[in-house]
Amino acid sequence: MTQLESKGVAASAKRTLQGSLGVTAIVFMVVAAASPLTVVGGAAPLGILIGNGAGFPTLYAISAVILLLFAVGLAAMTRHVPRPGAFFTYIGYGLGRPSGLAAAWTAMLTYTTIQVSVYGYIGYLLEITVVSLGGPDLAWWLYALAVVGLVGILGYRHIDLSSKVLGVLLVAEVAIVLALVAAVVFNGGPEGLSAAPFEPANVLSGSPGVGLMFAIAAFIGFEATAIFRDEARDPDRTIPRATYGAVIGIGVFYTLASWGLVMAWGPNGIMAAAEDPGTLMLRTVALYLGTVGEIIVNVLLLTSMFACVLSFHNVLTRYQHAMAGAGVLPDRVAGVHAKHLSPHVSSIVQTVTAAALTAIFAVLNLDPLLQVFTWFAGVATLAIAILMAATSVAVIVYFARTRADRRVWNTIIAPALGFVGLAVSAVIIVVYFPIMVGDVDGDGNPVFGAVSWALLALVVLFPVLGYAQAAWIRRRRPAAYAKLTDTIAG
């Protein structure tokens, strides 16, 4: 072996990721995961139609407040637990190693299900777009697999490349939505501009529980700022700022955008307009920005979803990398590429996983929109609410035990309030979960059928897997178990 080859092998064996990502780059990464245009064009119309109608925009603001309270405790932990891994690491430090492993596998479920759900959606959109342009009518899963491959190529390379791609796409998405809101404000809307979406009577109308489920789902990914700790510049300052920036930015943007959507048709007319939720955004853009705007939104909707799956790919690969570094996954998954300084093995594993799941959905002949997207987005929403609630408890326990941070607001009050909000949200999501997967009776009321129970079982199975693995490692590999975290819990 040559000297150069020896250096390359040594470099690829490094376990620590490196980079110089700043606040803006990390915010772009996690906000892109939220897929702004997909949320405004897809989730918001559904939240209006089967949620609480004209009062839906307020639920984005409420979700932002709950998650901002959660973020206070998360930011405190990032300063005192200088390791990547987010839920996995913080719950492990606060509640012990077994709970940490349970959180790790639940997080894997969350990000995997939300990622594959979007692969289904983007495959569906590419299929109908190509056909509308006179192209061949190919199956949705072929397009989805092509996107999986492209994401895998970008994920294999240095994180800076992904952040630049995501940054460009995100700016374009935000710009077109803000242009639409500006056009609505300038035009005044059919019923004039008003604060009707924030009036209590509208907020509590219809099914606000369903609307809250869609609102919280829109924030999935913001908490992943901590995953990029090793690749951040001055992480003790960058990560907390990026976390707050992501929550506030997402909350303000979605509240404003959905308010603009309601004003575009009027508080009294939005429900009728949302009867076809899949085309509401395009019809609104065509009405206020013309045909050119409609074409631009069509294109950006596809790039928005691509940005989403690329961002979640990066999050998943780093979660796997952190788990491998802790001895939970095979050691090789913790490898870092000599040139790209990326978790390249983990990236390959994630690409294969996404491709395999897409192939399974194709074999089962699942509908890409009504089943792949809707079902698994519902699973991810419930799992993330539970994870964040558990993390809030872990923050309180950790600082009560260590006294490393004596700020009462940051370590007790805010996390406690965040826990209450998240716990209530999780209960509401479970109650209304059947609606997301189509298990309803003749009157449209939620009924827990086979599909609902099967999907909810995943949210139970994965943390149980984590507890079982912790018990196995403790019994068979006590030295590895002792290194899972630096705490003495568990």
pLDDT, residue 113, reads: 92
Q: Which residue has the higher pLDDT, 473 or 444?
A: 473
Q: Pick from 103, 100, 161: which is nearest to 313 by CA?
A: 161
Most confident region among 311-320, 336-345, 363-372, 388-397 by mean pLDDT: 388-397
Domain count, the chain: 1
Is 143 among the domain residues? yes
Is 86 among the domain residues? yes
Is 294 among the domain residues? yes
Q: Per-residue pLDDT averaged across 418-438, rounded?
A: 87
Is 487 among the domain residues? no
Q: Per-residue pLDDT averaged across 202-227, rounded?
A: 80
458 confidence band (pLDDT: 50, 70, 90): very high
> Is residue 161's pLDDT more than 60?
no
> Is residue 333's pLDDT more than 50?
yes
pLDDT, residue 6, reads: 39
365 confidence band (pLDDT: 50, 70, 90): very high
Q: Which residue has the higher pLDDT, 477 or 20?
A: 477
> Is residue 36's pLDDT more than 50?
yes
> Is residue 30's pLDDT more than 80?
no
How confident is the model over 171-213, as pLDDT tens digits? 888 889 999 999 999 999 999 999 999 999 999 988 888 788 8
pLDDT, residue 55, reads: 95
> Is residue 154's pLDDT more than 90?
no
How confident is the model over 382-393, as pLDDT tens digits? 999 999 999 999
Q: Which residue has the higher pLDDT, 478 or 459?
A: 459
pLDDT, residue 260, reads: 95
> Is residue 427's pLDDT more than 70?
yes
> Is residue 162's pLDDT more than 60?
no
pLDDT, residue 271, reads: 94
CATH number for 226? 1.20.1740.10
Is 379 among the domain residues? yes
> Is residue 166's pLDDT more than 70?
no
Q: Residue 357 is part of which domain span?
A: 14-482
How confident is the model over 130-147, as pLDDT tens digits? 888 888 889 999 999 999
pLDDT, residue 160, reads: 54
Least confident of 85-94, 124-133, 203-212: 85-94
Least confident of 6-15, 119-128, 314-323, 428-437: 6-15
Is 9 among the domain residues? no
pLDDT, residue 315, reads: 79
pLDDT, residue 235, reads: 63
pLDDT, residue 426, reads: 92
pLDDT, residue 349, reads: 86
Most confident region among 10-19, 22-31, 192-201 by mean pLDDT: 192-201
Is 8 among the domain residues? no
pLDDT, residue 13, reads: 44
Q: Per-residue pLDDT averaged across 154-175, rounded?
A: 69
How confident is the model over 275-327, as pLDDT tens digits? 888 678 889 999 999 988 888 888 888 888 887 788 788 878 877 877 777 77
pLDDT, residue 7, reads: 39
Is 7 among the domain residues? no
pLDDT, residue 17, reads: 46
- What pTM did the predictor assign? 0.82
